[in-house]
Structure 1
Amino acid sequence: MQFDRAAAAYADQLSRVRRLSPATVRAYGADLRDLSATVPGAEVGEVDLEALREWLWRATQRGDARATLARRAAAARSFFAWALEEGLVPADPSLRLVAPKRGRTLPRVATADGVRGMLDGLADRAATGDPVLLRDHAMLEVLYGSAVRVSELTGLDQGDIDLQRATLRVLGKGAKERVVPFGVPARRALETYLGRGRPVLVARAAHRAPGPAVFLGVRGARATPRAVYDVVARELGAVVGTAAVGPHALRHSAATHLLDGGADLRAVQEMLGHASLGTTQIYTHVSSGRLAATYRLAHPRA
């Protein structure tokens, strides 16, 4: 089988069988298409270790980041492990493929006071009744109050929200469902948006039925992650000092503030939907201020 056809079949398997997130499927698919372009017309079995090393070397020469190189190598290893299982190759050529280790960077975090001021200011502007501002306020309150991913936020349907219990039912990575809590400010913002803002956006949908989506765009369709990015960049950018900030910054901030407030690490892991506790532990580095404060209060020689 030709490599490009096998890569397409593998991407389909990632989506339908392994049920990975659309973003992961797109990223792996793009990586394999990039590899295919370096071995045009080759059969799967013709792609050997040297071809893979040449592929990564070219990516290095054009300036791809270490994280990108690490992901490309992971995509190749995952693909060839599948190809071996399917009998498309006699041996896995990626077993000895080495890529630079992915550098671990600390997430951008806003202060609790900064987030509070941003949300309070947005609430004041939304009090005018503008449906888009009501939506934006509810969006950011939910993002920060529940620490959900942007894809989980935009995927919310009205039936996923329990306002009485203040919980959301979200579908995370790997199609894993979890229930996460949110706070009183988020509940108030949601109630106001659903009662006063969303009906106006629904009316703008004209002849298109918007469906059960909670958050809608200005034309009444389900809001996209890009739209949420734009809102976060505009509102939170002033707080952290750069417009190059997205919804994950609110997720990072929420997790850090939970740990600063004394939340258990495993409870935060469950709330964030991390499969590995190691992923959650990065926030313990961000929360070093909490450790220093505890030391000063508790250690006899502080």
Structure 2
Amino acid sequence: MIRFPVVEDFSSYLADYERLQPTTIHNYTTYVSLFLNYLAPAEAKRAAKGSIPAERFSAFLRSERERGLAESTLQMRWYALHAFYRFLRHRGYDGPSPLDQVRPPRARPVPRRDYSAAEAEAILAAARHSADGGTKKGQFDYAVMATFRYTGVRRGELIDARLKDLDLAHRELTVLGKGRKRRTIPLPHAYVEIMEWYLAEVRPHLPPSELLFANPRANLDGRFRGATDGQTLKRMVVRYGEDAAVPGPHLPHRWRHTYATHLLRRGVDVAVVQKLLGHSSITTTSIYLHLVRDDLLAGVDQAFGPPTPVRARRAAARRAT
């Protein structure tokens, strides 16, 4: 496969400007490389500057579909190419995106899992038990897990959080999100108490850094000196989820789902939740309303009973179509 210099620049843009996770960056750059290699050499040169007919995008997606790829995989290719045009605009391209004329593949929605309040508290209690053991790693882990529980931050936002961005006096944490957009998250009293303890008793004993969370076990001569990384956080989330005997999958982003649904279940307006999560569109936040509506349906079914066998079969047939 031919390597295109523009893809390297695209990768840097995704990391430095859109602040995407390394896995997403790898996928997006791979998909764009596949598209450029699909084109004839002269077409690929024009595409690297933004000039390519919409029909070529459609043909590429069609060829990928003929290879037997799932609609969800094709959808990710479409997202990657859209991100590529955002990058080209960032570099000065001022023309329209041909992808605006290409309908995105429609994948079945992926179920969003959240923790119940009891599950979330059980996992946090497992982390607190580790902190009570007195090790700096256990205490560090507890502060991180509390951050996931009480703020709804993305994994990358937690990694990049600075000490100066935490204002306990005003109960605020400022994070740098996608598209380098800053947002300020109000903090509950329970979290403020945990972080007062962390800053006074734990953080001074961690590697020196301007970052809020500096992994105490990071190689002092390595890449993550004075910082932490995504895989460390993922392993941490899995460990305490399993310690609490809570069913998986355990992922950092599941805590973000939990934060959103926890607020909505307690009657917080969806527009407020949108601002807290840093979503650019309320449509994204509205996905969580489906989880809340499931709660309401479950309550009605509990009160009035399940559907009759005939009605259940009909409902299953409708869902299958």
TM normalised by structure 2 equals: 0.75
Distance 2:291 2:212 in 1: 32
Q: Is the 8 A contact 1:32 1:76 kept in 2?
A: yes
Residue 233 in structure 1 maps to residue 231 in structure 2: no
- The offset of 1:57, in angstroms, is 4.2
1:168 is displaced (CA, Å) by: 0.3
- CA shift, 1:182, in A, is 2.1
What is the 5 A alignment of 1:104-123? Answer: 104-123=109-128
Q: SS of 2:161's equivalent?
A: coil
Structure 1 unaligned spans of 5+: 203-209, 297-302
Distance 1:63 1:128, change over 3 A: farther
Equivalent residues of 2:127, 2:145 under 8 A apart: no
Deviation at 1:292, TM superposition (A): 4.8
Cα deviation, residue 32, structure 1: 0.9
Structure 2 spans left out of the alignment, 5+ residues: 219-224, 302-321
Cα offset, 1:60, TM superposition = 3.5
Measured after TM superposition, the shift of residue 132 of structure 1 is 0.9
Quote the Cα distance in structure 1 between the aligned partners of 2:125 and 2:89.
Answer: 56
Does the 8 Å CA contact 2:13/2:87 hold for their aligned counterparts? no
CA contact (8 A) 1:228 1:247 kept: yes
Greater mean deviation of Cα atoms: 56-65 or 147-156: 56-65
User: What SS class does the counterpart of residue 263 from structure 1 fall into?
Assistant: coil
8 Å CA contact 2:124–2:146 kept in 1: the answer is yes
Q: TM-score, normalised by structure 1?
A: 0.79
Indicate the residue corresponding to 2:191 in structure 1.
186
Tell which deviates more after alignment, 255-264 or 23-32. Answer: 23-32
Distance of 1:110 and 1:175 partners within structure 2? 29
Structure 1 residue 263: deviation in Å? Answer: 1.0
Residue correspondences, number = 285
- Partner amino acid, structure 2, of 1:125: S
**Residue 252 and residue 85 in structure 1: after superposition, are their counterparts in 2 closer, same or farther (change >3 A)?**
closer
- Report deviation, 1:51: 5.0
Q: How does 1:105-184 map to 2 (within 5 A)?
A: 105-184=110-189
CA spacing shift, 1:139–1:13, aligned 2, 3 Å? closer
Q: How far apart, CA to CA, are the structure 2 residues paired with 1:152 and 1:84?
A: 25
Residue 212 of structure 2: aligned partner:
214
Distance 1:9 1:131, change over 3 A: closer
Report the CA distance shift for 1:36/1:288 in structure 2 as closer, same or farther (over 3 A). same
Match of 2:19 in 1: 21
AA matched with 1:194: L
Equivalent residue runs for 1:1-302 within 5 Å = 4-8=4-8, 19-23=17-21, 26-39=26-39, 41-43=41-43, 44-45=45-46, 52-60=57-65, 64-77=69-82, 79=84, 94=99, 97-202=102-207, 210-217=208-215, 218-219=217-218, 220-237=225-242, 240-242=246-248, 244-292=249-297
